[in-house]
Amino acid sequence: MLRFPLLHPELIGALAAAGHGARVLLADANYPHSTGVRAGAARVHLNLRPGLVTVDQVLEVLLGAVPVESAAVMAPSGAAGDVLPAGARVPAHAGYRDALAAAAPSATWQDLDRPAFYDAARGDDVALLVATGDQRVYANLLLTIGVRQV
């Protein structure tokens, strides 16, 4: 029996296969799950129904399972197709910042506009996409796995 709350076999396997510097995308329900990461990235679908599970719920469990070095979020830039105006506060991001501050206080934070976020999420270092049912706009979170401190 595992001693931490992460029980999903595919998720545990994908995290175990990823190492320092690998990235994990926690994607909201609006994200293009089939095309939004490189072809070889593992995909774990936790999007049971709209609103279940959320990125916050997955983040809470992942922070107990892997060290996080950095985080990047999709932020509105004012470009065509943006749902929010440039510079608008994204409610989902506040919870991510709080969770990271508590569990990984040295983790860096980066806001990326939508095209830059998609480019980063399709990078060769993305090992895993976790599809959620999160309905909030700009609720995508790209984590970089850090080094485990012994």
One pLDDT digit (tens) per residue for the chain, 150 residues = 466 789 899 999 999 999 999 999 999 999 999 999 999 999 999 999 999 999 999 999 999 999 999 999 999 887 767 778 888 889 999 999 999 999 999 999 999 999 999 999 999 999 999 999 999 999 999 999 999 876
Q: Does the residue 7 lie in any domain?
A: no
CATH number, domain containing residue 131: 3.40.1650.10
Q: In what order do the strands lie in the sheet with 23-27?
A: 42-45, 126-131, 23-27, 141-145, 68-75, 108-113
**Residues 6 or more apart in contact with residue 40 via CB below 8 angstroms:** none
What's residue 1's pLDDT? 47
Q: Does the residue 12 lie in any domain?
A: no
What is this structure's pTM?
0.94
Q: Does the residue 10 lie in any domain?
A: no
Strands 126-131, 42-45: parallel, antiparallel or unpaired by DSSP? parallel
Q: Looking at 20, 33, 45, 93, which residue is catalytic? A: 20
Domain that holds residue 125: 19-145
Q: Does the residue 31 lie in any domain?
A: yes
Structurally, the chain folds into a number of domains equal to 1
What's residue 78's pLDDT? 75
What's residue 47's pLDDT? 96
Q: Does the residue 13 lie in any domain?
A: no
Q: Is 33 a catalytic residue?
A: no
